[in-house]
Amino acid sequence: MNKYQKPGELYAGLRLHQNENSSGCSPKVLDALATITREQMGFYPPYDAATRACADYLGVDPDHLSLVNGLDEGIMATAIGYLRPSADGFIPEAVIPEPAFEIFAFDTEVVGGTPVRVAPNRDFSFPLDRVLAAITPRTRVVFLTNPNNPTGTAMPLDAIRAVSHAVPDGAIVFVDEAYAEFSGTTFLPELATFRNVIVGRTFSKAFGLAGIRIGAIAGHPDTLEPLRLAIPVYSVNIAAVVAVQASLADLAYVESYVREVEQSKALLYAACDRLGLGYTPSAANFVLVHAGDRLAQVLHAVSKRGIYLRDRSTEPGCAGMFRVSAGVVAHTQQFIAALEEALCDAR
């Protein structure tokens, strides 16, 4: 137990470092979980109803979608399905525009593939020319994130189309859309045309289900098959099956939270302007703040006040930067007050 944690508390401090929905899930989720029977707990879960509900929400055919134990499982299944070296010594490559979700490179290396990192533009706009130049006959996956993490920048859909056309036969483009509810943009309607693209979605962020681990991957069945073979049988548990259906039956809750995220981002932008801190405008539920030589001071002072931020300063193009979640307005106001106090104390 650390000094911010009280007896009986599950978490300590204010968690603004993981892009979670810190207001939690819809109350309807807890009501639904309370209905789970002893028999349901004793049996392996059925997936048909949850798969149909997710497919309806995402606008895809249920046969073109698989549930996963958090989107991380979908990313690992992509690496297993497409990036393992072959018996004849062929080592596949994964193209990864940076800065990026670290799991892309980690999973690539775990299965024996080679990550090919693409340097960012100074303004974090998508470096399409360099991504296309990084594609080779060894490319088997291009990992894209829209909006990007940790920058929050949106990617033009034309860029995804261009990458899809450029990859060699047998390769795929994996589009991580973990933050699509906040950006309002998705590539899902184009999957019928771009059969070498897989889209990954999660219910951890806007839906507040990070603690129960439920996501989905969508694409043409032939493209999904190598991933489906890599996903353990019954990896999604009964609680997640029940929770996601209850969440999808209460989209008003999600829409309300998305509106609150927009309010929080506006407050953060205004605070940064007032305090002389830079930032990257975000299409997600977080903001990348450019603190420069004040980074260590900010991180230390805010941490002492029990608020967690994510130091991104070691990532390409992110020197002097930290990421802060933008969700519940009251939590954002609490962070801003701590930030103002920390910077004013140093003057």
Compute the distance between CA of residue 176 and CA of residue 179 in angstroms, rounded to an integer.
8
Report which DSSP code applies to 102.
Answer: T
DSSP state for residue 233 in the 8-state scheme: T
Write out the DSSP string of 170-203. T-EEEEE-TTHHHH---SGGGTTT-TTEEEEEES
Q: Say if 14-24+252-345 and 27-248 have the same CATH topology.
A: no
Instruction: Compute, in degrees rounded to 10, the torsion defined by CA atoms 16, 17, 19, 21.
Output: -40
Fold of the domain built from segment(s) 27-248: Aspartate Aminotransferase; domain 2 (3.40.640)
User: What pTM did the predictor assign?
Assistant: 0.95
- Residue 125, number of CB atoms within 10 A of its CB: 15
Amino acid (one-letter) located at 168:
P
- Provide the residue ranges of all domains of the chain, joining segments of one domain with +: 14-24+252-345, 27-248
Among 2.170.190.11, 3.10.20.90, 1.10.1040.10, 3.90.1150.10, name the CATH number for the domain at 14-24+252-345.
3.90.1150.10
DSSP structural state of residue 204? S
Closest to 139 measured CA to CA, from 158, 118, 153, 110? 118
The closest of 325, 327, 261, 264 to 289, measured between CA atoms, is 325
Each of the 347 residues of the chain gets a pLDDT tens digit; together they read 344 334 445 567 899 999 999 999 999 999 999 999 999 999 999 999 999 999 999 999 999 999 999 999 999 999 999 999 999 999 999 999 999 999 999 999 999 999 999 999 999 999 999 999 999 999 999 999 999 999 999 999 999 999 999 999 999 999 999 999 999 999 999 999 999 999 999 999 999 999 999 999 999 999 999 999 999 999 999 999 999 999 999 999 999 999 999 999 999 999 999 999 999 999 999 999 999 999 999 999 999 999 999 999 999 999 999 999 999 999 999 999 999 998 886 55
